[in-house]
Structure 1
């Protein structure tokens, strides 16, 4: 199902990940329970098979082991909890689940207000300098492929 993406991951130098650090299903289930919804299928595939990655100056957020979640800033829930603690964030972005915050003037997030038939959330790009939000990809798999293509 994700063969094309897996092939790109084998050959790219833009994205760095550490084999053998995939998330366990129980960690994903705990995260989904806290979030109140299921994560998209292509992101779940990524979490189980790859689990982590660095691209440029940032981490593509992952699901860490529960015992590390409280202090690992590459964890999806850790960042989500920090964001939820900010009142302005909750008011302005009630359906935003951060995914990738590179060392630049943009960030990427799941728009959890809408899903396609496969259960995928669109990934949005937030241009912080211009305060603009645009759709970047329809699925997490498409998001990763586009990042690899743009930065390879």
Structure 2
């Protein structure tokens, strides 16, 4: 199943669960069971063509109402990238560095894309990726090799999985409210393309 369709289906199940709490365990609005999928033949996985930087840039330009991002003038210096890497104990993926240097940060739809604020990581709040990682480790909502980059209002959490780091790029997974982790994108370029397209009519 297409990952965006799966996310949408999960959200629909959540809304239905909220409408009929007496029929479901109120402490668990999501389920890993997929009874309808068991009777269907598994379809071959659909592979998405890797988006080029030019395609992504054009998509951002075409939809400024969805991709509300910054500019190179807003970007932090390379020193802050190095400090961030030292703090999270991981190299930042190349595609994510490109995003930080060219767009600094911003929002896609209603979702803040975590970035680097260029302030003391211990003192700031909000969508600074280092602050969020430190906080996540403190409250055990993430692990050392899972660096969160964005969260939705529906409880989905997108993160770099450093178990997949190949020296340059890191795959991005989404944790849906059931607790299951699903592969979402092979790099940050692909992640941005998918998130922008998710908001298109």
Shorter-chain TM-score tier: 0.7 to 0.9
TM-score (norm 1): 0.87
How many corresponding residue pairs? 147
Q: How much does 1:70 deviate?
A: 2.1
Report what 1:123 is aligned to: 172
Output the aligned Cα RMSD: 1.8
2:108 alignment partner, one of 55, 71, 74: 55
- Residue 81 of structure 1: how far off its partner (Å): 0.8
- Structure 1 residue ranges without an equivalent (≥5): none
Contact 1:107 1:125 in 2 (8 A): yes
> 2:75 touches 2:102 (CA, 8 Å); kept in 1?
yes
Larger radius of gyration: 2
Give the deviation of 1:69 after TM superposition.
6.2
Which residue, 28, 38, 43 being the options, matches 2:91?
A: 38
Q: Which has the higher strand share?
A: 1
Q: TM-score, normalised by structure 2?
A: 0.67
Aligned-pair CA distance for 1:56? 2.9
Query: Secondary structure of the residue that 1:110 maps to in structure 2?
Result: strand
CA contact (8 A) 1:64 1:72 kept: no
Q: Deviations over 1:102-130 (max 9, x none)?
A: 2222110000112236x1111001101x2
Deviation at 1:55, TM superposition (A): 2.2
Following superposition, the deviation at residue 72 of structure 1 comes to 3.0
Distance 1:100 1:124, change over 3 A: same
